[in-house]
Amino acid sequence: MTALTLSTSAAPGLRADAIVIGVAKGAKGPVVAPGAEAVNEAYDGKLAGVLETLGASGAEGELTKLPSPAGFKAPLVIAVGLGAEPEDHDYPAEALRKAAGVAARALTGAKKAAFALPVEDAAAVGAIAEGVLLGAYSFDTYKDNSKDPKAKNGKAPLAEAALLGGKPRDAAHKAAAARATAVSEELNRARDLINTPPNDLTPAIFAGIAQEAAKEHGIKIQVLDDKALTKGGYGGILGVGGGSAATPRLVKLTYTHAKADKHLAFVGKGITYDSGGISLKPAGHNETMKCDMSGAAAVFAAVVAAARLGLEVNVTGWLALAENMPSGSAVRPGDVLRMYSGKTVEVLNTDAEGRLVLADALWAASAEKPDAIVDVATLTGAMMLALGSRTFGVMANDDAFRSTVHEAAEEVGEPAWPMPLPEHLRKGMDSATADIANMGERMGGGLVAGLFLREFVGEGITWAHLDIAGPAFNEGGPFGYTPKGGTGSAVRTLVRLAELTAAGDLG
């Protein structure tokens, strides 16, 4: 992973492969952003005009390369777009994060780069650091040259980034960089898990990875295998995992702080491969289904990040891990499962499996009476139809909590949107055979799934559901600090919720 340093050095004398500066979109053309004063001065104050001549406008995601002026030890200047120039010159954290990510990705193969982006405060330091660390990510484990450090397209990711304007002796700046490093490393770990082929990430292997991380970071862990799940009556997880030779697991990660008086529970859907089961997905819909464990990856990463940050909050993570496969032992449409809660569920569609494993984990989490539960899942295609591929839906049994989760997501740069839980849709899941069916009305399918999950949340417990089906896996090209493939969606939202709880601001 890219090494970060904070530096008060002047750009001209810094030995690096490139100097990264910001350029904003002004009313009359590109505007050189704060942080690049030394570079602009070396161009006799005419850098904006030079950039405009080269076609730069300052638009978000834009990148322009030009040779460094005389006297600079770095041979290259990279001007990256920050979007519209703020009236108060206070650039939003997300604009800095995206710009740093674009530049870091363009610097693949470089040994060192200096980032001279606007640094007004510690928050800006953290945003730029996150953008660099997330933007430089690559997954090359299975490439022929994976054992060679020059792995990404024959080149290694950016090795070192110096954040100019970041003060190495300033406690707030150092803390911001340290936080960005911890969160980014765990988010990138989640990306690695999501990108790993399902033959190398069965429920048992995922559980083993969690055990190693728990040992390293002082987190308690409990792993229930298929025998323990059978003994405990976890009918949802067992039903979904029954068709696969790779048996299911329920993993419980527990981070505690001696001074904590609040407890959060995070629950993640971990379908390590989803064929749809007997309700088999057609060709064209199953090739990326290794990503159906993105919710569990996000929960895992968030718990470890909370431990690394030493947050004064108790956090329990539940990973409901199973592989959904068709076979003679697979659950069938029409089967009835008795869930861990004791409720019975008629399975009308085996491809609506995520809600079944989550139901058991939600009930298990509820037994500990946490102050709030948040579940994360790549749950429905309906949510993608509603919100697109970059925004996740937020549902909750408490409007104020839903707003808090939404605001936390937006604060850290994860696009989210509050969604309702319309009571009239609940009737569509009535079953003549069981307490409830796992399917309801087709229209509003993402909301129906949320209503199903609500049935398995303990009475009086505040709960939110994040449907990350859209942003969890990027099938298009990279953008900002988001790579192609697994994105690590919801990790930063969960960490922020834990921070808010630790600070006493969650309510």
Residues assigned a catalytic role? 281, 355
Give the Cα separation of 478 and 314 in Å (integer): 35
Which residues touch 205 (CB under 8 Å, ≥6 apart)?
none
Closest CA to 183 of 117, 131, 122, 106: 131
Among candidates 206, 191, 286, 290, which has minimal Cα distance to 250?
206
Residue 499's Cβ-count burial label (10 Å; 0-12, 13-18, 19+) is buried
Residue 250 bridge partners (DSSP): 224, 320
| Residue 272, C-beta contacts closer than 8 angstroms, at least 6 positions apart | 198, 201, 202, 203, 206, 246, 290, 292, 293, 321, 322, 323
d(CA 277, CA 286) in angstroms, rounded, equals: 11
Helix %, strand %, coil % of the chain (to 5):
35, 20, 40
Residue in 195, 219, 221, 227 with CA at minimum distance from that of residue 207: 221
SS3 449: helix
**What is the 3-state secondary structure of 94-152?**
HHHHHHHHHHHHHCCCCCEEEEECCCCCHHHHHHHHHHHHHHCCCCCCCCCCCCCCCCE
Would strands 436-437 and 344-346 be described as parallel, antiparallel, or unpaired? parallel
Measure Cα distances from 21 to 99, 270, 459 in Å. Answer: 9, 40, 53
| Residue pair 420/394 in contact by the 8 Å Cβ criterion | no
Using a 10 angstrom Cβ sphere, with 0-12 exposed, 13-18 middle and 19 or more buried, the burial of residue 445 is buried
Give residue 141's Cα distance to chain centre.
Answer: 20
| Residue 269, H or E segment | strand 263-274
| Residue the block writes with tokens 């969160």 | 183
8: Cβ contacts below 8 Å, ≥ 6 apart = 164, 165, 166, 167, 168
